[in-house]
Structure 1
């Protein structure tokens, strides 16, 4: 097998393997987690937005 043929074979194998691992839609492309529930108070919102290094 020539080096060009082996490169093509490796590329096809990688595409086959990676293609099954990558989702069609990532979580960043959906609205999941972006909607705020109705009725939250401003205090609830402020508690959610506390940076991790501040603790809770």
Structure 2
């Protein structure tokens, strides 16, 4: 198998796996992403905003 054929097979395999199992690994790692992005504290804040006033929130 030539290098071109093996590269093509790898891309096809990767596409097939993504189609079957979804995107397992993100394209970027956590240290490459914006630290202000989606964080747990923003999720906590959203949850606090959802508490009805009669629950003492």
* TM value normalised by structure 2: 0.36
Larger radius of gyration: 1
* TM value normalised by structure 1: 0.36
